[in-house]
Amino acid sequence: MSKVFDIAKKAGLDGFMLMLISMIGLAYIWPEPGMSESPVPLIKISTYAVSLIFFFYGLRLSPEKLKAGLANWKLHAMVHLSTFVLFPLLALACRPFFHGEDHQLMWLAIFFLTTLPSTVSSSVVMVSIAGGNIPAAIFNASISSLMGVFITPLWMGVVLDTGAGNYDIMSVVGKLSLQVLLPVALGILLNRKWGAWAEKNKTYIRYFDQSSILLIVYTSFCESFGEHLFSEFEMKDILFLGMGMLAMFFAVYFLLTFFCRMLGFNKEDEVTAVFCGSKKSLIQGAVMSKVLFSGAQAGIMLLPIMLYHALQLIAASIIAQRIARQQKESQLVK
Q: What is the pTM of this model?
A: 0.79
User: How many helices, marked H, and strands, marked E, lie in the chain?
Assistant: 17, 0
Looking at residue 79, its pLDDT comes to 94
Q: Is the dihedral of CA 134, 150, 173, 217 positive or negative?
A: negative
Looking at residue 82, its pLDDT comes to 96
Distances (CA, A) of 252 to 91, 151, 181, 189, 303: 12, 19, 28, 36, 20
Looking at residue 101, its pLDDT comes to 73
Give CA–CA dist 284/192, Å, rounded.
25
Q: What one-letter code names the amino acid at 105?
A: L
Looking at residue 222, its pLDDT comes to 83
Looking at residue 9, its pLDDT comes to 56
Domains of the chain by start residue, with CATH: 2-333 (1.20.1530.20)
Q: What is the full per-residue pLDDT of the chain (334 aa) written as tens digits?
A: 555 555 555 554 557 767 877 888 888 888 888 776 677 777 778 778 878 888 888 887 777 666 665 667 889 999 999 999 999 999 999 999 887 776 888 899 999 999 999 987 678 778 877 888 877 887 887 788 889 888 998 898 888 764 444 566 777 778 788 887 888 889 888 988 888 898 888 888 888 887 887 887 788 788 777 766 676 677 788 889 989 999 999 999 999 999 999 999 999 999 999 999 999 988 888 888 877 876 667 778 888 988 898 788 778 878 887 888 887 777 666 5
Looking at residue 280, its pLDDT comes to 93
Angle separating helix axes 191-200 and 202-226, nearest 10 degrees = 80
Contact 149, 181 (CB under 8 A): yes
Closest C-alpha to 94, from 301, 309, 241: 241
Q: Euclidean distance between the first and final Cα of the chain, in Å?
A: 32
